[in-house]
Amino acid sequence: MALGATLVMVLSSLRIAKEGLEPKFAIMWSLAFSIISLKLAYKRLHPEVVGYILYCVFSAMGFTALLNDGLASIGPIFLFLGLSTSAVVIRAKNFFILVGLQCLAFMILSLLVTSGKIAPMPSDASNYMLSGRTWVFHGIITATGAALSFYGSSILGQWYRQNLTETKNSFYSAISILSLARDTETGEHITRVSYYADILYDALCKSKFYELDFSKSELSQAVRLHDVGKIAIRDSLLKKPGKLTSSEFEEMKRHSEVGADIIASIRNQRDASDRILELAERIALSHHENWNGSGYPHSLSHEAIPLEARIMAIADVYDALRSKRPYKNGFSHEQALKIMTDMCGKKFDPALFAVFLDVSDDFKDVYDSILILKATQA
């Protein structure tokens, strides 16, 4: 963007050297300088605001050229740049309004031409159009405009996608907080299991036994929603200090299906193709399934259990064992590993559990670091 604006200033300077200083060149300089300033300050502005500014800057340059040099000027190139760069981030309805404004301006320009206020072509039109200098100048401007349009559109597109990602991440975090609304657990649990999932994902990428069809960031966000169904479980059950009775446990088991239903409903209302919500739905439903088929809600076994749910099972159990709950004290890292090892082949996928053991010290580091951070903030 800044490079294109600099080239506009350089080319204008060359014309000043040959034709002398005219108001149109000063205007071109001012607008090009505005683009350079925008490049320096764009991080502090909303993407759509930048789109409007670029539209105004390029449109002003375009109509300045048209009013000074007529229809044979480079004005249409700048008008095109104004629309093409702004189209990346401006909503469709508003974009068509901007197109309409340009059309209106062209109508006014046409009236000025027909009334003789401006010339549709320079007076020496034939010589001007056949001049080698004209072809070189317009060729450079066209190439610069194309590069500037591509660069500006790429930057704004990347910016827009990043902004959209941040908005989605905030949405997923807000959903995950629902699972804490009435549970005894805290936000540290959600943060920790997200880190655990990242660790296992990286380890699995080095493994020859698993093919991952989701990204680390998708998994990291999805696992945060695993217990959202607990909002449907009554407080007396969630906060009971002792062991649950058989009937109470049956009621508690409902949270996996309720959570999956909640996430499915959100997917249907927002975007059924949302990959994170798709993963989250399967994790919420199946993270209590066991490798030997003794889990719930559907008694799935082995590879019938989604890989993301098997990852979540290891992360969830490790954190549950390490954490203090109303009905138990927290176990040490070594005690947690011993208990989980006894569950291997029953609750956990043996091959996945072997990967976990290789990186279990990283799990310990995550748990201890968040615990220390919480203590320093208390």
- In this structure, are residues 196 and 222 in contact, taking their beta carbons and an 8 Å threshold? no
Report d(CA 318, CA 340) in Å as an integer.
Answer: 8
Higher per-residue confidence, 334 vs 122: 334
Mean predicted lDDT score pLDDT of the chain: 78
pLDDT digits (tens, 9 = 90+) for 215-261: 998 999 899 888 888 877 887 887 787 788 899 999 999 999 988 99
Residue 318 belongs to what H/E stretch?
helix 307-322
Closest alpha carbon to 26 in 35, 36, 16: 16
Report d(CA 52, CA 83) in Å as an integer.
Answer: 9
Q: Give the CB-side neighbour count of residue 31, counting CA atoms within 13 A.
A: 24
Closest alpha carbon to 340 in 349, 219, 100: 349
Report d(CA 47, CA 49) in Å as an integer.
Answer: 5
Report d(CA 291, CA 343) in Å as an integer.
Answer: 10
pLDDT digits (tens, 9 = 90+) for 193-221: 999 999 999 999 988 778 888 999 899 98
pLDDT at 31 exceeding the cut of 70: no
For the chain, domains (ranges, CATH) are 2-164 (no CATH), 181-377 (1.10.3210.10)
Residues 6+ apart with CB under 8 A from 43: none
pLDDT digits (tens, 9 = 90+) for 147-173: 655 555 566 566 656 655 655 565 555
- The pLDDT assigned to 128 comes to 58
Closest alpha carbon to 176 in 166, 165, 168, 187: 187
Report d(CA 290, CA 313) in Å as an integer.
Answer: 9
Report d(CA 195, CA 83) in Å as an integer.
Answer: 43
Burial of 107 from C-beta contacts in 10 A (0-12 / 13-18 / 19+)? exposed
